[in-house]
Amino acid sequence: LLLDEVQFMPRFEEVMNSLLRIANIDVYVTGSNSKFLSSDIVTEFRGRGDEIRIYPLSFAEFFSVYEGDYEDAWQEYMIFGGLPQVAGFQSERQKSDYLKNIFANVYLKDVIERNKIQNADEIGILVDVLASAIGAPTNPSKIAKTFASERQMRYTNKTISAHIDHLIDAFLISKASRYDIKGRKHIGANLKYYYTDLGLRNARLNFRQQEPTHIMENIVYNELLMRGYNVDVGIVEIFDQDKTGKRIRKQLEVDFVVNRGSERYYVQVAYDMTSEEKQNQEFRSLRNIPDSFKKIVIVNGSKKPWRNEEGFIIMGMKYFLLHANSLDF
């Protein structure tokens, strides 16, 4: 039995409970407004059902219906994302208008109404700040300072933290925690936030700020989640010397620590690796990881995977996206 958009039916929870008592029946329930874009239903029916998370189209799914070559499809996906309706539109204006409309009238409106948010301007600006900062470590305190200095607005850490949680509950953004690789522990501060669909993110910013490095990173993060991995941002602590020769402690970043069961991979995302300086920058954190799990660098383009002299796997974005088991190369 498929019940679509069931949240519009009064007391639907009672109806669902009664259906669960019928033998030999599977009940599938879908919903897309504020009542369902949360964990409420899963909590209410814990132990008696499963949540099936439906993501936007992966690039492989998008490419399978795209009428054109890889390069054109890649540019399109980076700008307009993977919502299925967008893939069906022909003109850029249709795609742009649809994304702006669904962001304002579905996602943001639902978050505001569901959580009874009084100041809609605050959360509107917050989604802009997070959209501008994909791939950058941030925290409520830093965002509050931005509001105070740039917009002369008082927006408390507690309120910002609550609003970010609402956006996560609505599946608009995802958070990646920081993980100390050597210390084997999670670090609470300076999380990274990524948009579940880049088309929505880009539409919110009126298609400005098209930084390919951060967009690539966001796409890789989403792809890893779709494949069922748990994804953190890695930190490797080393000792270095400053300009005076003084010994200092320094943190290097690994874009993603990717786990699933006993599997682990370390993944760096690099738009450009043509210079020796850039290569050293990307490889340095990997060189300081004290274990033998696979270390992968995903670069822009169509390069087939190869292993360098240090044992790191260099892989083109095209191969990574179009091969479901690409991390097992």
Structural domain includes residue 314 = no
pLDDT along the chain (329 residues), means of 10: 80 82 86 61 71 91 95 96 93 96 89 88 91 90 85 86 91 92 86 95 90 94 97 91 81 94 95 84 92 95 93 96 95
Quote the tokens at residue 221.
């993060």
Structural domain includes residue 31 = yes
Structural domain includes residue 89 = no
Per-residue pLDDT at 64: 96
Per-residue pLDDT at 34: 57
Residue 172's nearest CA partner among 211, 199, 132, 139 is: 199
CB 282 within 8 A of CB 268: yes
Per-residue pLDDT at 195: 96
pTM of the shown model: 0.90
Per-residue pLDDT at 242: 78
Q: What are the residues whose beta carbons fall under 8 Å from the beta carbon of 12, sequence distance 6 or more? A: 3, 6
Structural domain includes residue 315 = no
Residue 306: what residue type? W
Give the integer Cα–Cα distance in Å for 131 and 211.
Answer: 12
Per-residue pLDDT at 42: 65
Structural domain includes residue 234 = no
Structural domain includes residue 40 = yes
* Burial class, 22, CB count within 10 angstroms (exposed 0-12 / middle 13-18 / buried 19+): exposed
Give the integer Cα–Cα distance in Å for 220 and 310.
Answer: 23
Quote the tokens at residue 90.
């022909």
Domain that holds residue 6: 2-44
Residue 173, helix vs strand vs coil = strand
Per-residue pLDDT at 281: 85
Residue 267's nearest CA partner among 329, 212, 198 is: 329
Give the integer Cα–Cα distance in Å for 189 and 251.
Answer: 14
Structural domain includes residue 251 = no
Domain total in the chain: 1
Per-residue pLDDT at 79: 96
Structural domain includes residue 250 = no
